[in-house]
Amino acid sequence: MKRTSTIIAYTAATLLTGAAAASSSTTAVAASCSSTLTASYAAPSVASGYVARLVANNLTKPRGIKFDSNGALLVVEQDVGITALNLADAGQGCISVSSRKTVINDATLNHGIELSADGNTLYASSPESVYSWAYSAQSQTNTSSPKTLVSNMTTSDHTTRTLLLPQHAPGLLVVTRGSTANIDPLAEDITTGHSQIKAFNLTNQTSTPYDFDTAGLLLGWGLRNDVGIAEEPLSGGLYSVENSVDQMSRLGVDIHQNNPGEEMNFLGYLNGTYSPNQGRNFGYPECYAAWNVSAIPEFNGTVGMQFAIGSLNSTDNDTTCDAANRQAPRLTFQAHMAPLDILFNAEGTAAWVTFHGSWDRTDPVGYKLSVVEFANGDAVDSSDSLTAAVDIVSNANQSACPTGCFRPVGLAWDRQGRLFMSSDATGEVYAILRDDGNRTSAAGSNATGTIPSATAGAGGAGGSSTASGSGTSGGASSTASAKSGAESVRMGWRGVVGGLGVVGGLLLGLMVV
C-alpha cells in the first residue's frame, strides 16, 4: 500500500508538472466534438498529423471564402450572394457556426472575394464585373452601394473571376479570366482578353470601370482557366493554378485520360522585381503540359514540358511550344484534377491547393486538398516532379465521386492559423487542423514532419478507404519521419491523459509504471 501511495504521489506530481508545461503551449485537438456535423458521404481520409472537421453545412454552392477583421467567415454562395458565418470555438478544435447573416444579396456573384488590408472594403465578382462595397465587420453589412471596378468579362464557358489584393503591391487588384470554350481560338489573340490574368490600379483609377480587354497590366496570357491565384509572401511572386483542356487527342490518338496535366504557373512579381515570366504567353490554346509522357505520340519531352496539338506540320509542331516561344508551368499535376485555389502560409513554406475533381476521366481523380512544399520563394520540387502535391484530405471512396463526395473550392486562414475549406457540391465548410494543436499554417520546409512523405503518384488518383484522421490520402504516405512519429506519440499520450481526467490519468500512469 505504501508503494502504491508513493507511485500515485509521484505520478500525480509528474502529471501536474506536465500539465503546467502544457498550459504554456498548444493543446491537442480533441478526437471528436459533441457539435460535430456528419456528412452524407464517407468521412474524409486524412494524412497522419491532421484532422478534417466539418463546421458548416446547408450552404448554397460555397466558393470563395475570406475571414473578416472580426473573425467572421465570409462565404460566396454561388448565385446567391455573400454570407457571414459567425463561428463558436469550444476549444480543442471544436468549431461550429453560431449564427449566419446575409451580407450581400446578389445572385450574380459566383466565386471571387477579397477584403482590403484594413477590412473596410469588400470585393466580389460576377462573370461580367468586379465590385467593391464599404464594409463594416462590426455590423456585417455593406455600408455603401456597389462600385463597379472592372467590367466586360462575360464569357460563355469559364465564368469565375478570382480576385487577389497582393500585399507586396498595395493598391493593385489582380483578376483572373478564363476561356470561352474548351479550346478557345480567341485566346490566341491577345486583344480579346480571353484566358488572361491582369492587375488593375485601384489607387489611381484612370477610368470607371476598367475594361478588362483593353486596360490593366498583363501578367500572363495563354492561361486557359487559372482559377486559383496567390502571392508568395516572402518574395511577392504570383502563382496560379490552371485547369487544362478536356477530351484531348494528338495525331488521331485519344490521350485525354492522363494528358494534358494541370498546371501551377509562376507569373512574376508586382513589386518591381524583374521576371521574364511576366506578361508571357503560357501556351493555351496551342500548347499543353505533358503529364503521362509515354501516352503522347511522337513526343520526346519530359513531364511539364509543353506539346502541340492539331495536325502537326513543319510550321505547327512542338517547337512552337518550347521555352523560347511559350512559358512552361512551374509544376504539373495529374490531368483533370481541376485545381481551384492556392493559398500560401505566412512563412512561405507551403502552398495549399484544392483539387475540385474530374469529370472527363474513367477513374475519378482530384476531390482533395493537397500541399506543395516551398522554400525561398519557390517550390522545392523540380518542374518534372510527379509528387510535388502531397495529399492531406481526400475522399475515402474516390469511385463515389462526383456525386458522393466533397469537392474542395476555396481556402482561408483564420487568426489561429487554422485552414478552412469550402465544398460547393455538398454545401459545406471544413476546418483542417493539426492533431497536436499546432497551427496548420506551420506546415512546410522549416517545420519538420508537418508535410507527410510523398510516394509515387502523389499528384495522381489517390484516395484511400481509411477513416478520417487515421489513414493517408492519395499519394500521401502514412509514415512521416522518425522525429515526427515520436512527436505524434508524445502528443497522442497527452491527449489520452487529458481525456481521462486526473483520476484516469493517475490510473493510466500506474499501468505504464
What are the boundaries of each domain within the chain?
A: 1-30+489-513, 44-480
pLDDT score of 35: 72
Q: Which residues contact 55 (CB under 8 A, 6 or more apart)?
A: 37, 87, 95, 96, 97, 420, 429, 430, 431
Query: Contact at 8 Å (CB) between 334 and 262?
Result: yes
Interval 25-64: pLDDT, tens: 468 999 888 877 999 999 999 999 999 999 999 999 999 9
Side-chain-side CA neighbours of residue 15 (13 Å): 24
First to last CA, the chain: 15
How many residues are there in the chain? 513
> 144 Cβ partners below 8 Å, 6+ apart?
133, 134
pLDDT band at 480 (very low <50, low <70, confident <90, very high): very low
Q: Which of 1-10, 156-165, 307-316 has the lowest mean pLDDT?
A: 1-10
| Radius of gyration of the chain from its Cα atoms, rounded to whole angstroms | 24
Report whether pLDDT(113) > 90: yes
* Grid coordinates of 262: 494541370
Q: 493 pLDDT band (50/70/90 cuts)?
A: very low
Percent of the chain clearing pLDDT 90 (strictly above)? 76
Mean pLDDT of 353-370: 96
How far is it, in rounded angstroms, from Cα 387 to Cα 334? 10
Confidence grade of residue 3 (pLDDT, cut at 50, 70, 90) = very low
Residues forming a β-bridge with 97: 87
| 199 Cβ contact list (under 8 Å, min separation 6) | 166, 169, 172, 173, 174, 175, 216, 217, 219, 270
d(CA 110, CA 124): 8
Rounded to whole angstroms, how far apart are CA atoms 374 and 379? 4
Q: What is the DSSP pairing of strand 81-89 with strand 95-105?
A: antiparallel
Residue 500, beta-bridge partner list:
none
pLDDT at 454: 59
Task: Name the 3-class secondary structure at 5.
Answer: helix
Which pLDDT tens digit goes with each residue over 421-472? 999 999 999 999 999 999 999 999 888 889 987 543 334 333 322 233 433 3
> What would the pLDDT profile of 142-161 be if each residue is shown by its tens digit?
999 999 999 999 988 999 99
Q: What is the CATH topology of the domain spanning 44-480?
A: Neuraminidase (2.120.10)
pLDDT band at 406 (very low <50, low <70, confident <90, very high): very high
